Structure 1
Amino acid sequence: MTSSFEARILELGLELPRPPKSLANYVATYTTSSLLFISGQLCMGVDGKLVAAGSVGEEVSLEDGALAARAAAINVLAQARAALGSLDRVKQIVRLGGFIAAPTSFADHARIMNGASDLMVEVFGEQGRHTRSTIGVASLPLQAAVEVEALIEIQ
């Protein structure tokens, strides 16, 4: 693992988009003491369009659902960089919360959310290992398939 998370982003060939603007009356990030809270980020690609729309297990395949979770996590990183100036200020990814649009019979939420969790470990190594909640929901804003929020310890 390199000593710089910013360098690691480049090594992985990741492109962090301009952070998406909040869709309603809330802030995208909030910093207090040594914690950065990041509001839920939808699965938007760098082109600003949803990577996956609809319900996982119905209109969205498991593979595309995991890619959507990864895209949402990339937006989490974009928000973190915008708030902190550099991802090198990240001390620990503390928690991710994942919301998966899926039918009530769907039971593979964890597999989908691994798209986001795996990305954090790819970028931050052991400092990317985190606690997590993964919740199935009937729908998400803009009909997104996945939304991811985060709590990050900073230095």
Structure 2
Amino acid sequence: MTVEQRLAALGFTLPEASQPAAKYSNLVNINGLVFLSGKGPSGQPKGKLGIDFSTEEGYRFARQVGLEVLAVLKAELGSLERVKRVVKVQGFVNASSDFEEHHMVLNGFSELMIDVFGDEGLHARSVFGAVSVRDNLPIIVDSIFQVDSNI
């Protein structure tokens, strides 16, 4: 089963890949390691976890970010079949000072990667609470993937 077939079986459709909002690239590929710029959820929701949004809503936003990341990878690489491994994920959760469930929010992204890539989707990760992020998005995720440069 291909990555796109797995996505369809899970009930997901990739959005159109977003373009950078400023003077940077969506990704940089160095010797088969792809560094993706930070991405936010589709629809550009605004607000903080713990004030405007619940942990469950944050989880769904993180899953949306995962779909956005996959859309960018597909647009830039031509095929998601080139992805060999999800290496590292770093999440920035726009949250109130007393919010403590950052890790549960980022699970939305992490679990999507595992659902789509299987064992190769399991990755190292960090998650941070932020007092603010660009455009007041609830979460931004940057990530590193290993890709097959021979395809």
TM-score, L = length of structure 2: 0.94
State the shift of 1:94 in Å: 0.3
2:141 to 122, 143, 148: 148
What residue in structure 2 maps to residue 94 of structure 1?
A: 87
Q: Counterparts of 2:28 and 2:145 in 1: how far apart (Å)?
A: 11
Q: What stretches of structure 1 of length at least 5 have no aligned partner?
A: none
Greater Cα offset, 120-129 or 7-16:
7-16
What is the one-letter code of the residue matched to 2:20? S
Aligned length: 148
Q: Residue deviations 1:91-111, cap 9 Å, x none?
A: 000011101000122111000
The aligned residue for residue 15 of structure 1 is 13
Q: Which ranges of structure 2 fall in alignment gaps of 5 or more residues?
A: none
SS in 1 for 2:14: coil
Structure 1's consecutive aligned runs of 4 or more residues displaced over 6 angstroms after TM superposition are: none
- Root-mean-square deviation (Å): 1.0
Quick check: 1:53–1:60 contact (8 Å CA) kept in 2? no
In the TM superposition, residue 53 of structure 1 has moved relative to its aligned partner by 1.9
Query: How far is the alpha carbon of 1:124 from its aligned partner?
Result: 0.5
User: Which residue identity does 1:116 align to in structure 2?
Assistant: F
TM-score where L is the length of structure 1: 0.92
1:4-153 alignment to 2 at 5 Å?
4-44=2-42, 49-50=43-44, 52-153=45-146
Do 2:50 and 2:98's aligned partners in 1 also have CA atoms closer than 8 Å?
A: no
**Is the 8 Å Cα contact of residues 41 and 64 (structure 2) preserved in structure 1?**
yes
| Secondary structure, aligned partner of 2:21 | coil
> Percent same amino acid among aligned pairs?
34
